[in-house]
Amino acid sequence: MTYNEFLLRRYEEMLGSRFKEFLEASRKPLPKYIRVNTLRIKPKELRKRLEEKGFELKKVMDYCFLVKEAPISIGATTEYLLGYYFLQDYSSLFPAINLNPKPGEVVWDMCAAPGGKTTHIAQLMKNQGVIVATDVRKVKSLWYNVMRMGVTNVIIYQRDAREVKYKFDKILLDAPCTGTGILRKDPTRARVKLRDIRKASSLQKELMKTAYENLKEGGTLVYSTCSLEPEENEEVVEYALS
């Protein structure tokens, strides 16, 4: 699967001489990573348990491993069901890391489902303080992952984030997007058209406005997407700063 003609022309214009390199990279298999849930187990102990089952792991962060070899599906182990780890792309760790949540703070994860970043934030907060996690859909998967990972400081609301009015210490806006950066995971993203990009950008700006209005003075707001489009990234940031 590759990008449609609209996206191919767009990226060729954007990337110039690096276009072919980009296409080659987008066709490579997606590496698999796991984030160790330090609320339940120490990284060293989890590594020992998985390697005894035949997994080959490479440490890339204190609590993150690259799965180099897997004798069975990494999502089908006892350790996974016990909430010892979360299947999470390496790049998706950085929104929570950059948010830098502290124990005792009040944090809002605006578009939280299915809960990878929510449970990561809880892990960094050591289950202390409060995380308000909102989403308009997939709340069951969010609830399941919060329970599986042993997170106890999350309040889940199924509602549109634009309706929330409260002041938070820190806010993560991992915005709904076209997802053009995750083609290797979801080939349907190759069908994105310009109208989809414009629609996503419009929603992202509304959510950004809501985030700004709900952030305490001196607070921290982190914005992230899995899109490659400037309209969904730089343009939204410029809107927030204007």
Q: pLDDT tens digit string along 56-85? A: 999 999 999 999 999 999 999 999 999 999
Pair type for strands 106-109 and 168-174: parallel
Lowest mean pLDDT among 19-28, 35-44, 138-147, 168-177: 19-28
The answer to whether residue 156 is domain-embedded is yes
Q: pLDDT tens digit string along 199-227? A: 999 999 999 999 999 999 999 999 999 99
Total count of domains within the chain: 1
Lowest mean pLDDT among 13-17, 21-25, 30-34, 161-165: 21-25
The answer to whether residue 111 is domain-embedded is yes
Q: What does the block give as tokens for 57?
A: 């792991």
The answer to whether residue 173 is domain-embedded is yes
Whether 226 is catalytic is yes
Q: Residue 220: phi, psi to the nearest 5?
A: -120, 130
What is the domain range of residue 227?
91-241
Residues 189, 179: contact at Cβ < 8 Å? Answer: yes
This model's pTM is above 0.85: yes
Q: Per the residue annotation, which of 64, 111, 177, 226 is the catalytic one?
A: 226
Q: Does the pLDDT at position 1 exceed 70?
A: no
Which CATH number characterizes residue 230's domain?
Answer: 3.40.50.150
